[in-house]
Every structure is written in structure tokens, then in C-alpha cells.
A = this chain, B = another copy of it.
Amino acid sequence: MSFQYLNPRASPKFKDRYTTKADESRLFYEKGRKGDIGVVGLPFSKSSISFSMASEAPKTIRKALGAFSTYDGSRDRDFSEVVWLDYGDVQTHPTDLEETLHRLKQSVTDMIDTEACSRYIVLGGDHGISFPSISAFQKKYGRVGVIQWDAHHDLRNLDDGGRTNGTPFRSLIEAGVLKGEDLVQIGIRDFSNAKAYSDYAKEQGVRFYTMGDVERQGLDAVVAKEIERLKDKVDIIYLSVDMDVVDQAFAPGCPAVGPGGMTSRELLSSVATASRHTLVKAMDIVEVDPSKDVRDITSRLAAHVMMRFMYQ
């Protein structure tokens, strides 16, 4: 009879026996354990240009998964069997930012070297984490194509501030990790970039679509077309989702919010479209700063982005 209502290691939470919450299909990684999706957190945002607590997002996004279930009503399918393996969050260094970048890359490498899963999600952190993350994937898998949802190019020069959250794709291109032509940028917004970087993108062959382009061509169509273009050139496609691609009314918890962005539905639908392709094996979600959010709605949206990727 005793210890019926107490479990020293678990938080008590209401459980409906017929419902599986998305955080219930998580297992913690252990040597030898297999899963479907590997998840790692890169809680790093000290190199953001503006002040950011995006380092807190891996925690809040995981928590938000506990508010949703594994059942997709539209397709009448339950994904409770899809296991996500949690590799935890990387320990960063308080003052040595270079060391931290090294740790991030090493830890993503550690995760994918386990070969325990077929697909992976990397939770930022600011967009700066895409540099070490994509570098790790490229080293393991070969040529990488990237589809970046973002209001910004993130192709700033490296001299004015070093490797900030405004530079990851510049860093990748300059380091030879990523070819410009293998990078697709979707949702680029007016009054949020500079001509010099738009020009750089063109020089490097980066394919980018402004919000106006997206409105005219259709978001799902753009995604489908670009995957088609990439699929014979690259070994793996990596989705990089900067949540500020979404309008500030739908994603208030991003450091660089502004009007004129996508709706939540547009983002979710296009991520689902992309995730259905077999080459798409990795995704990062970045630029969610929970301290700036309203009712965690940006983290909840990020959790749905995860589910759209995982549950295909």
C-alpha cells in the first residue's frame, strides 16, 4: 500500500491512460540505446549581437512538448511509438566562447557518431550554433544542403564582432563547409537586412526568397521546388529554423521581432512539407528567448515545429 502516491524521482502530473504526451515518448540516451530522433540542446547565446537568453530555450521547448500529444488528428495517426532520444544539453564555458563553440561541435559529433537514430534535432541557442552544428553534420555525412527559415540573411562580415548570431552562414561558406548554392533562405524580410549581404548572397549563389516572393509563389511550393533542386547534389538536407521568420504577433519570444512575417500555420505547413523528404535528416530551431516570450507561445510553436519534423 505504501509509496502509492510518491515517486521521489518524478514530478507528479495528471495522467490520462489513453493519452501519450509528446514528452512521454522520450528516452534518455544511454550507450547502446536506439531511437528514432536524436535531440540535443546547445544552450548558448552569449555571442548574440543583442542581449539574448535563447540559451534557456532547450528547456522550455522540451517542456512545451509535455503540453501536446503524439496523436495527429488530421491523419488519424498516433506517433506514440516514435522514440526521441534525449542527449541532454551541452555544458558551455562561462567566459571562453571559442571553447564553447568547440564543445558544441564536439557534442553534436558525439551524438551523430552514436548512430542511434536516423534523424536529429538540435535545439538552440541563438543562430550562432548553426555554425558548429552544420559543421559536425557535414563532416559526418558529406555535402549538406540547408533550408533556412529566417527574416535575416545571417551573412554578416566577421570583422565587426566576430562569430555572432548574425554570421553563421557566412562562417560556413567561408570555412568551405557549405556551398552558397546549397543554401536556401526563406522569409527574408524588408528593413531587416543590408544590401551588402543581399549582394553577397547573390554572389555566392544563395537562393533566397523574401516574404513578398513567398506570398507570390507559395511557401510550400518554394520548399518543394528547392528540395527538388538540391536532392541530387547533396548528401543530406538540414533545416535551420530561426523562429523570427514568424510574425511578431505569433512568435513574440524572439530577440529580433518585427511585423510582416509568416503566420504559425505557414511555418508549420512548410516544415512538414520539407520533413517528408528522406534526405532531410536534421533540423535546428533557434532564436527562441523564453524570457521575452508571452505564455511560452513561441516555445509551444517550436514544439510543434519539432513534432512536424518527428511525426512524418
Contacts and interface: CB of A to CB of B under 8 A. Distances in A.
A265 B259 contact: yes
Nearest to A88: B8
A19 B91 contact: no
Interface in A30-68: 30, 40, 43, 46-51, 53, 55-56, 59, 67-68
A103 interface: yes
A189 interface: yes
A212 B162 contact: no
Interface of A: 1-12, 14-20, 22, 28-30, 40, 43, 46-51, 53, 55-56, 59, 67-74, 76, 78, 86-97, 103, 106-107, 109-111, 113, 156-157, 159-164, 166, 188-198, 210-212, 247-250, 252, 256-260, 264-265, 268, 291-292, 294-295, 297, 300-301, 304, 307, 311
A257 B70 CA distance: 16
A71 B199 CA distance: 12
B292 A69 contact: no
Given A9-B88, A51-B56, A74-B212, 8 more contacts: A2-B110, A3-B110, A6-B87, A11-B89, A68-B191, A95-B161, A191-B311, A252-B294
A29 to B, nearest CB: 4
